[in-house]
A and B are shown apart, each in its own frame.
Chain A
Amino acid sequence: MSSSPPLNPFQLDPAGIEERAREIRKKIVHMNSAAGQGHTGADLSEADILATLFFRVLRFHPDNPTDPERDRFILSKGHGVGGFYCTLAEAGILVPALLDTYLKFDSSLPGHPVRQKTPFVEINTGALGHGLSVGVGLALSARLSGRRFRVYVLLGDGELQEGSNWEAAMSAAHFKLGNIVAIVDRNTLQLADRTESIMALEPLSAKWEGFGFEVASADGNDPADLVRVIESFDTAGTKPHVLLASTVKGKGVSFMEGQAAWHHKIPVGDQLRQAIEELE
């Protein structure tokens, strides 16, 4: 019943993806600074992953956000929405001026993704531990309807402390869903401190393996490495996949890198100038 899936509209090489990621980061810093709020550290941490997905991996038509054959992307770590919006703007899906409305009253760009408001938002996230289950349902729907789309779910690492992720992981393996790819933004920091001091996740790779996933690791801030690993996954197979992407929270801005305090801090004044200089 399915027609051919679309292609990625950009198909950039790693150097091209890096360039886009740099533009996304600049947008993030400007947007959050103007809004006076936002999860800057998380947005910057995930920028290379988002750029790799939207400018290389995901198959979709930018002008057809409801194409039933499109690959699905779910931002389970919904607080990283700033990076997501800026990626959509960089891809030409959102008008850049719309970023000025981020977090404003009844904006189409609220502080967590809302599918009724923003194209290519598949599900309303923000509460953690929801995206993988929804992804499993989508992946199952593809099999039941004979479609070939893949489902990519971006998870925060702190998010993995929510038990519902492991219900979802168990079911992805049980249902033999090779068409689902979980990507963990492993920046090792959560809101208050390091994940390992709050509630340890390690050995994380062994956990996912135990739950029946194919596990791979990559430098989550290096598009070449991300492309290499993501494209190695057999999404027509019967085993779900997880990429543990080592990232640096606040990546690209020296004074934010690796600082939990920048989880939802905003650069102002000299900080903003320095951040933009470093990203140029």
Chain B
Amino acid sequence: MTAQAATRDMREAIVEELIRSSEGGVPVVVLVSDSTTTSAISPFRARYPDRLVNVGIAEQNLLGIAAGLSLGGFISVTANAACFLVARSCEQLKNDICYSATDVKLLGLNAGVAYGPLGSTHHAIDDISIMRGMGTIRIFAPADAIEAAQTLRHALHTPGPVYIRLDNVPLPVFHGPRYEFVPGRIDVAAEGTDVIVFALGSLVPEALLAREWAAATGVSVSVVNMSSIRPIDAESVARQAALSGRVVTVEEHSLHGGIGSLVAETLAERGLSVRMARLGIPEGEFAKAGPRAEIRQYYGIDARGIQRAVLRIAGREG
């Protein structure tokens, strides 16, 4: 990736895929909870007005109705802010969707600290942790628009619950048009030999930038896009980590139960001893409120912070 890479909002690609799949005969119904602008869903609504259900500001009802529609033969796609999805409707998520194994695909919009200054009511730094406790639901966190569309396409064509963690700003499109998202397979975004960075979603471009800067100081960094959190390619995670034995994880998520936890568990279970730094919101804290870039800077999960961690883990700091 370079600074010149084209950018695109994942939501545009998601909505395009909803229309494309609907045109292809997939019986999609999209459900929003007054979140039509949050989801940027208007092109879908214009095309399929009867297939957009707005339940109002009622997130519990959103998921119950989504489950019911899927039991009636539709594929329900919910589109609302991740913070309300996982917290307000957690029990519906557990029982109506996951325990009941209904055909519902959940889009977690504006995840992480995307709502920066709006504070912890609007941050979703616990969504992966919560989803990992929800039975068999598949958990994806695409890193660019191309991958976002592919995670949704996969979800729409395979039965059962899926959670897709999404961002709401134009992000560099670093995957080529021939990229193929495969659930349960890690995506090595860039190769290197000294340190490996496992990055989540919109922090993958930050990690790639950090990689460029580190290269300038003679440190070779590999970047892995952890877009398939469940299923996880545990063997490849372990194999990649073992290559250098120096691991950094970075996520706009709590360090409790996110990808840092997942990578650490994966390595520990295999008896792999590595130098490791987990970057994210520290366990036991809510994230601070403020502009998103400053929150990232504060917690050291932007490109500069990742670069610092990489150099530290490589033994090259100071």
Near A by CB (< 8 A), chain B positions 34-80 give: 50-51, 53, 55-56, 58, 60-61, 63-74, 76
Interface size, B (range):
20 to 34
Query: How many contacts A-B (CB < 8 Å)?
Result: 107
Contacting residue for A123 out of B50, B71, B91, CB 8 A: B71
Task: Please tell me if A130 contacts chain B, counting CB pairs below 8 Å.
Answer: yes
What is the minimal beta-carbon distance from B129 to any residue of chain A, in angstroms? 21
Please count how many residues in chain A sit with their CB below 8 Å of the partner chain's CB atoms: 34
Interface code A114-145, partner B: CB below 8 Å = 1, 0 otherwise?
Answer: 11100000111111011011111111111011
A170 to B60 CA separation, bound complex (whole angstroms): 13
List the B side residues contacting A115 at CB < 8 Å. Answer: 100
Q: Are B96 and A167 in contact (CB under 8 A)?
A: no
List the A side residues contacting B56 at CB < 8 Å. Answer: 170-171, 174
A132 to B96 CA separation, bound complex (whole angstroms): 11
What is the minimal beta-carbon distance from B27 to any residue of chain A, in angstroms? 8
The residue in B56, B68, B101 that gathers the most chain A C-beta atoms within 10 A of its C-beta is B68
Contacting residue for A137 out of B51, B64, B91, CB 8 A: B64
The residue in A122, A137, A138 that gathers the most chain B C-beta atoms within 10 A of its C-beta is A137
Q: Are B68 and A136 in contact (CB under 8 A)?
A: yes
Q: Are A133 and B96 in contact (CB under 8 A)?
A: yes
List the A side residues contacting B63 at CB < 8 Å. Answer: 133
Q: Are B100 and A137 in contact (CB under 8 A)?
A: no
Q: Are A140 and B69 in contact (CB under 8 A)?
A: yes
Closest Cβ neighbor of B89 among chain A residues: A164
Interface code A16-46, partner B: CB below 8 Å = 1, 0 otherwise?
Answer: 0000000000000000000000000000000
Q: Are B71 and A133 in contact (CB under 8 A)?
A: no
A130 and B69 in contact (CB under 8 A), knowing A124-B99, A164-B60, A168-B64?
no
List the B side residues contacting A170 at CB < 8 Å. Answer: 56, 58, 61
A136 and B71 in contact (CB under 8 A), knowing A127-B95, A171-B55?
no
Task: Please tell me if A5 contacts chain B, counting CB pairs below 8 Å.
Answer: no
What is the minimal beta-carbon distance from A152 to any residue of chain B, in angstroms? 13
A145 to B92 CA separation, bound complex (whole angstroms): 24
List the A side residues contacting B73 at CB < 8 Å. Answer: 68, 141, 145
A141 to B70 CA separation, bound complex (whole angstroms): 8
Contacting residue for A134 out of B29, B53, B64, B91, CB 8 A: B64
Q: Are B61 and A164 in contact (CB under 8 A)?
A: yes
A171 to B54 CA separation, bound complex (whole angstroms): 10
The residue in B56, B73, B94 that gathers the most chain A C-beta atoms within 10 A of its C-beta is B73
What is the minimal beta-carbon distance from B51 to any residue of chain A, in angstroms? 8
A135 to B96 CA separation, bound complex (whole angstroms): 11
What is the minimal beta-carbon distance from B78 to any residue of chain A, in angstroms? 11
Q: Are B92 and A130 in contact (CB under 8 A)?
A: yes
Q: Are A134 and B50 in contact (CB under 8 A)?
A: no
A141 and B53 in contact (CB under 8 A), knowing A116-B101, A130-B92, A133-B61?
no
What are 15 A-B pairs with beta-carbon distances under 8 A?
Answer: A68-B72, A116-B101, A123-B100, A123-B102, A129-B60, A134-B68, A135-B68, A136-B68, A137-B67, A140-B69, A141-B68, A141-B72, A141-B73, A144-B74, A164-B92
Which A residues have a C-beta under 8 Å from some C-beta of B? 68, 72, 114-116, 122-127, 129-130, 132-142, 144-145, 147, 163-164, 167-168, 170-171, 174
Which B residues have a C-beta under 8 Å from some C-beta of A? 29, 50-51, 53, 55-56, 58, 60-61, 63-74, 76, 91-92, 94-96, 99-102
Other than the known A134-B64, A167-B60, what 19 A-B pairs have Cβ atoms closer than 8 Å? Answer: A72-B71, A116-B101, A123-B71, A125-B95, A129-B60, A130-B95, A130-B96, A133-B60, A133-B61, A133-B67, A133-B96, A137-B66, A140-B53, A140-B65, A141-B73, A144-B51, A164-B64, A164-B92, A168-B64
The 4 closest A-B pairs by CB, nearest first: A137-B68, A141-B72, A133-B64, A167-B61
